[in-house]
Amino acid sequence: MNEHTNLLIIGAGPAGLAAALAAAPRAARIVLLDDNPLPGGQIWRDGPQAKLPNQAHRLREQVLACANVHWHSGTRVIANAGPNSLLVENAERGWQIHYERLILCTGARELLLPFPGWTLPGVTGAGGLQALIKGGMPVRDERIVIAGSGPLLLASAATAKANGARVLRIAEQASLAAVSGFAAQLPRWPHKLLQSFSLFDRQYRSASHVLAALGTDRLEGVRLQQHGQVVEIACDRLACGFGLIPNIQLGQALGCAVEQQALAVDAWQATSQPGVYAAGECTGFGGSERALVEGAIAGLSATGNRQAAQRLWRRRARWHAFARALNTAFALDPALKSLATADTLVCRCEDVPYAALAGHSDWRQAKLASRCGMGACQGRVCGAATTHLFGWQPSAPRPPFSPARIDTLLHLESDT
C-alpha cells in the first residue's frame, strides 16, 4: 500500500533529526526514513559498543515523541517513482511514498583512495573501523594504524582505544603548519577546542601518509612516508580514510544542481528543484553542528516558517566558517594521486586496475571499456576515487539505486 505525507525526510542523522523536530509544529504528517536500524546517522551511529553523546539521545527522543513523525528504520530509496514520489524498500516490503515536500539529509561517506595492498583483509576506512567497533567488532589488544586526513582519524583512534586496541600511529597527510594553523583558530569554537584536547594522541604525526599495506593473505604491516622518510610498522589493522565526500546520488537523480561535488542550496536550504531541500553533509562537510543548524533551517523553510529559519542564519554562518577552516587545513596533497601503481585495483567490485583506467578521458568511457563502477557498490567507492585521481565526474545514478527485490520493482509497473 502506498504512503502519503506532507514532508518526507531522507536520512536520520543530525540534519534529518533537526529537520523533523523543526518541522513538527507545522506539518500534519512527517515521514523520516534511514537505512540504519536506529536514528543517528554515521556520526551518531548506535550499536552494542557505541557511546552516544547526551545531545544525540535527547534529540532522538524528542523526534520520536512527536505523534506526527513516522519513523521507518532499515529503509532504502530504490528509485524515483515519478513526480513527488519515491520507491522505497525495507526487510519486509517495498512501497511508494508520495510527498509534498522533500528534505535530503543523505550525509557523506569516506573518500577511499587506492594504494598497493588496500584490498587486503584487515584494511578498512577510518570511519569504517569506527562503525565496525560500534557495531560490536572486538579489537582488544589489536595493533592498529590509522592514516589519511581530517579529524575523523582522531575520533576513530579514540573509539579503538576505548575498546582496548593499541593505536600505534595516526598518520595525517596535512603538514604541521596546516594542522597548527587550524588548531590556532579553534578558540573561535570553544566546544571544538575542548574536543580537540580530549582526542589528542601522542602517536599523531603530521606530514605522513600511507604508501602500501603489507601482507599476503591478510594485513601484516603498513609502509608509511613520514616527514620524508619511509617507515614500516607491523600491525593487525589499518584504517585509512582521506576525508569525507557528500552523498549526492539521490539528489542528482532528482535533478538537483551540484556545486563543488555537493548539492547546491540557497539561503533557505532549497535545492534547484521546487519543493526539494537539502541539509547536512550532502551539501558539504562541516561536522554535526553545521548539520544540525542546516537541518533546522530546512525543516522550518519546508513548512513555511521562514522568519524562524532566518533567525538561524547567523549560527549557520558561524559553522560554515568552521567548515571552511577545516577543509582548507586538511586539503589533500596532490602527491596522494600517485599512490596507486599500474596493477593497484581501483574498482574492487570488478577487479579493475589503475592501468586499465589511466588512458580514458572520462567516467563513462572508462565504465564502458572496463566495467569500473558496475559492481555491487555501483561506483560509490571507485567513482569518488576516480574523481580525485582523474577529475572525472560520475553521471547521475540510474535506478534501482540499491539492490532490490523483484516484487518491490513491480510497484513501479503497477503504479503506471
Residues 224 and 192 in one domain: yes
Q: Where are the beta strands (DSSP E) in 206-351?
A: 208-214, 221-226, 229-234, 237-242, 244-246, 258-259, 262-263, 276-278, 345-347
The answer to whether 372 and 350 have CB atoms below 8 angstroms apart is: yes
Burial class (CB in 10 A: 0-12, 13-18, 19+), 84: middle
The answer to whether 171 and 161 have CB atoms below 8 angstroms apart is: no
Residues 307 and 210 in one domain: no
Residues 184 and 295 in one domain: no
Residues 238 and 116 in one domain: yes
Give the alpha-carbon dihedral of 209, 214, 219, 220, to 10 degrees: -110
Residues 26 and 74 in one domain: yes
- CA distance linking residue 78 with residue 87, whole number of Å: 5
- Given a cut of 50, the residues of the chain with pLDDT beneath it are 416
Residues 213 and 98 in one domain: no
The answer to whether 291 and 14 have CB atoms below 8 angstroms apart is: yes
Nearest to 344 by CA among 197, 225, 213: 213
pLDDT at 130: 93
Determine how β-strand 258-259 pairs with β-strand 123-124: unpaired
Name the residue with cell 500500500.
1
Nearest to 154 by CA among 112, 182, 126: 126
pLDDT at 397: 83
pLDDT at 142: 97
What cell numbers appear for 402 in the block?
Answer: 540499491
Burial class (CB in 10 A: 0-12, 13-18, 19+), 142: middle
Last residue in a domain, options 223, 242, 261: 242
The answer to whether 268 and 305 have CB atoms below 8 angstroms apart is: no
Burial class (CB in 10 A: 0-12, 13-18, 19+), 121: exposed
pLDDT at 253: 93
Is residue 97 situated within a structural domain?
A: yes
Boundaries of domain holding 290: 3-109+245-326
The answer to whether 297 and 14 have CB atoms below 8 angstroms apart is: no
Burial class (CB in 10 A: 0-12, 13-18, 19+), 184: exposed
- CA distance linking residue 296 with residue 24, whole number of Å: 11
Is residue 332 situated within a structural domain?
A: no
pLDDT at 415: 53
Residues 206 and 288 in one domain: no
Q: How far is residue 405 from each of residues 87, 88, 402, measured CA to CA in Å?
A: 12, 11, 10
Q: pLDDT tens-digit profile of 146-199?
A: 999 999 999 999 999 999 999 999 999 999 999 999 988 988 988 887 777 767
Is residue 227 situated within a structural domain?
A: yes
Residues 56 and 81 in one domain: yes
Q: How far is residue 334 from each of residues 82, 338, 389, 390, measured CA to CA in Å?
A: 42, 8, 9, 12
Is residue 335 situated within a structural domain?
A: no
Residues 214 and 319 in one domain: no
User: What element of type H or E holds 319?
Assistant: helix 313-329
At 365, which amino acid appears?
A: Q
Residues 36 and 99 in one domain: yes
Is residue 60 situated within a structural domain?
A: yes
Number of domains the chain contains: 3
Last residue in a domain, options 213, 242, 271: 242
Q: pLDDT tens-digit profile of 110-133?
A: 999 999 999 999 999 999 999 899
Is residue 331 situated within a structural domain?
A: no
Supply the CATH number for residue 14's domain: 3.50.50.60
Task: Break the chain down into helix, strand, coil percent, rounded to 5.
Answer: 35, 25, 40
pLDDT at 47: 72
Q: Which residues contact 162 (CB under 8 A, 6 or more apart)?
A: 51
Ramachandran region of residue 80, left (φ > 0), alpha (ψ -120 to 50) or beta?
beta
Side-chain half-sphere CA neighbours of 255 within 13 A: 9
